[in-house]
Amino acid sequence: MDYMYGPGRNHLFVPGPVNIPEPVIRAMNRNNEDYRSPAIPALTKTLLEDVKKIFKTTSGTPFLIPTTGTGAWESALTNTLSPRDRIVSFLMGQFSLLWIDQQQRLNFNVDVIESEWGQGANLDALASKLAEDRGHTIKAICIVHNETATGVTNNLATVRRILDDLRHPALLLVDGVSSICALDFRMDEWGIDVALTGSQKALSLPTGIGLVCASPKALEASKSAKSVRVFFDWNDYLRFYKMGTYWPYTPSIQLLYGLRAALDLIFEEGLDNVIARHSRLGKATRLAVEAWGLKNCTQKEEWFSDTVTAVVIPANIDSSEIVRRAWNRYNLSLGLGLNKVAGKVFRIGHLGNLNELQLLGCLSGVEMILKDVGYPVKLGSGVAAASAYLQNSIPMIASRI
């Protein structure tokens, strides 16, 4: 039998989808409504304004599309570019690979800059390509902010600096699926033209909303872009924005109420505090990995992700067996190694509405699994390293009593 029920709650530590907080679940526990009634447009108006805050933009225009991150990718591309447009895209892991595949299938001329998996985007190569492009044939730069397959975070501020230094007008399109609402992200300050994320990641919602935010420059580009788009066409949304009804198609009513509750939780904690919490959890996880005597797939500290850690396993152990045993024996969900790192790494997701004690429970489970598969881990070593760091880094919080 491939599946057997495990007692207790599933411990979900993949890098998305993530655990859903109880207030969000309760907010979504409601019947359907007429989305053209006065209630839903009023709700949508507040959501659109508040979503801008998580992108850190005042000038961007957000779109809440009933889709996944993949649909948000397509929306970003087809609304700003025309077939055969030349774009530069970075390949450094499974999700950047999938976005490049989409770009090619949409008939764009994709100039791929490839890095070894575990390394960040090669920004020196980008600078060279842009410097050589005196005719400005490159129309867009596409980059995954946080490559979930390898736990690599790229420096978007440096990408913007390169574009500005060379006075290159290319659009900057960013996949922030596993970064926005968890890592430092500044759409306006970094001059990002299209940013996107998915509801099932740091927002801690079910899958089903692709959140896209477009700069004024991107909206202007959409007026002349000739890519075919229907369901993802921003113009349809903008027309209904002006009408005050907001929805050209049927939205997921329950997810909208869930998004309201999720944003309220983030704002109650404070977005900067949310980002700092993810930084602490990421550091604690990396200290545990080090205490176990294992290596991070990410090759330099400057690229370390605070939302996912990809752990390299000795060659005599199949990391897929670690993930399988975690599920079967401990009801613990860990991330598989994907594509080039399949069987070589397993991934610990530490993003969303998550606290220190939950993470320590996951790390304890990982230690038991490592012992199960024959790795000579000292039980408690990683938990001790992580908890010692967390004990000294948790900010003082006012009593709730």
Q: Which residues are annotated as a binding site for substrate?
A: 347
User: How far is residue 14's CA from residue 20's CA, in Å, rounded to a whole number?
Assistant: 13
| DSSP 3-state of 331 | coil
Strands, E assignment, 206-352: 210-214, 295-296, 308-312, 332-334, 345-349
Question: Taking Cα atoms as reference points, which of 150, 146, 143, 141 lies closest to residue 168?
Answer: 141
Question: Taking Cα atoms as reference points, which of 180, 178, 170 lies closest to residue 142?
Answer: 170
Residues whose CB is less than 8 angstroms from the CB of residue 314 and which lie 6 or more positions away in sequence, other chains included: 375
Q: Which one-letter amino acid corresponds to residue 348?
A: I
Q: Which one-letter amino acid corresponds to residue 264?
A: D
Residues whose CB is less than 8 angstroms from the CB of residue 301 and which lie 6 or more positions away in sequence, other chains included: none
Answer yes or no: are the C-beta atoms of 80 and 193 closer than 8 Å. Answer: yes
Matching residue, tokens 């570019």: 81
SS3 content of the chain, % helix, strand, coil (to 5): 45, 15, 40
Residues whose CB is less than 8 angstroms from the CB of residue 274 and which lie 6 or more positions away in sequence, other chains included: 181, 182, 202, 266
User: How far is residue 159's CA from residue 141's CA, in Å, rounded to a whole number?
Assistant: 9
Question: Taking Cα atoms as reference points, which of 19, 23, 12, 18 lies closest to residue 263?
Answer: 23
| DSSP 3-state of 259 | helix
